[in-house]
Amino acid sequence: MGVLGGPDRFGLWPDADLRSGTNSSWTLGSYVSSGGPDGRGYIQLTGGGGSGYQSNRIPVDTSKSYQQVIYAKTITPGSSGNNAGGHIGFACYDENDNFIDLRHLKGIGDTQLTRTATPGDTTIYVADASEWYNGPTGYFRGLMLFGGQYPYSEGYTRYAVTSNGYNENGMTNLGNGEWSVTLPNGLGTYSDVLVNGSYPIGTYLSNGRAGGSYNYALGSPTYPTSWTRYATPVFTGESRNSGYPFRYGTKFIRFLILKNYNRRNESPQDHVWGLSKFFFGQVVDGRDYPSNLV
């Protein structure tokens, strides 16, 4: 099978190899009919200033294996003399098309209530808050609660206050395996978690902490002046991450690029660069997509 066959037959992004002869599936830049990595079409862009772009969504099954590939090139360096470059990967969404932020995922300061709690409480008691962030940055002090339709075992919850969920310096080690945590606005109401109006002992909570906004699975390369292939290894499963695999709770993804993010502080934004072969494919029988296929 040739290079063109790979994305067309196996890829999940619509028009992954631009065989349509347009950029209608990739509403960024302009379509150029020749000069791509295989001599055919590519999408050409100028600058970008670090702005984000996401494609239409595609469904994924996180129990299966996948690989992402793209080709990128700096066509003309900017006035600064620097090549273009920026983050490339995907963004994760849940079954209701909600974006999955790191502050919706278990993995930092996972703990459990040691006393029952009630909606509106401004102090809660947990087994261990030693890993919770205790400083001034509000988006590191998110508070997540698991249960009901968002069980802790699945790692994902929408029951979250993503910023200033608890107070700076609001944790106190009471000893004997218990900490108190003070909340600025009271504990939220998540009806399907409540038992007789309260959150029971053992309810799971985590510290929601911001990090890489998206899954930068292909990194943040600076693009050479020749077409360069960027590819993930084969990956599967879910975790709390900003690379790969998928994030907990993922049912859909969108292609993601931060356009010329590496040069976002340069002016003018006159770097000319290109993208081709927007490939994302399911891996079958353990094989990947080598460079002779995509």
At residue 231, the pLDDT reads 96
User: For the chain, what is the mean pLDDT?
Assistant: 93
Give the β-pairing of 238-239 and 246-247: parallel
For residue 128, how many other CB atoms are within 10 A of its CB?
Answer: 16
At residue 287, the pLDDT reads 66
174: helix, strand or coil: coil
Check pLDDT > 80 for residue 54: yes
Check pLDDT > 90 for residue 192: yes
pLDDT (average), residues 264-270: 96
At residue 2, the pLDDT reads 30
At residue 284, the pLDDT reads 81
Q: Report CA 103 to chain centroid distance, whole Å.
A: 11
pLDDT (average), residues 64-73: 96
pLDDT (average), residues 144-154: 98
At residue 286, the pLDDT reads 65
Listed in sequence order, the residues at least 6 apart from 78 whose beta carbon sits closer than 8 Å to its beta carbon are 47, 84, 263, 266, 268, 269, 270, 271
Give all strands of the β-sheet with 179-182 in edge-to-edge order.
123-126, 179-182, 171-173
Per cent of the chain over pLDDT 70 is 94
Look at residues 284, 271, 223 and name the one whose alpha carbon lies nearest to residue 72.
223
Burial class (CB in 10 A: 0-12, 13-18, 19+), 217: buried
| Prediction pTM value | 0.93
Categorize the per-residue pLDDT at 4 as very low, low, confident or very high, splitting at 50, 70 and 90: very low
Q: What is the pLDDT of residues 78-129, one digit of tens each?
A: 999 999 999 999 999 999 999 999 999 999 999 999 999 999 999 999 999 9
Answer for the pair 262, 84: CB distance below 8 angstroms, yes or no.
yes
Check pLDDT > 90 for residue 52: yes
Q: What is the pLDDT of residues 202-258, one digit of tens each?
A: 999 999 999 999 999 999 999 999 999 999 999 999 999 999 999 999 999 999 999
Residue with the larger pLDDT of the pair 289 and 179: 179
Answer for the pair 276, 227: CB distance below 8 angstroms, yes or no.
yes
Check pLDDT > 80 for residue 8: no
Cα gap 155→217, rounded to integer Å: 20
At residue 9, the pLDDT reads 46
pLDDT (average), residues 186-208: 97
Answer for the pair 181, 123: CB distance below 8 angstroms, yes or no.
yes
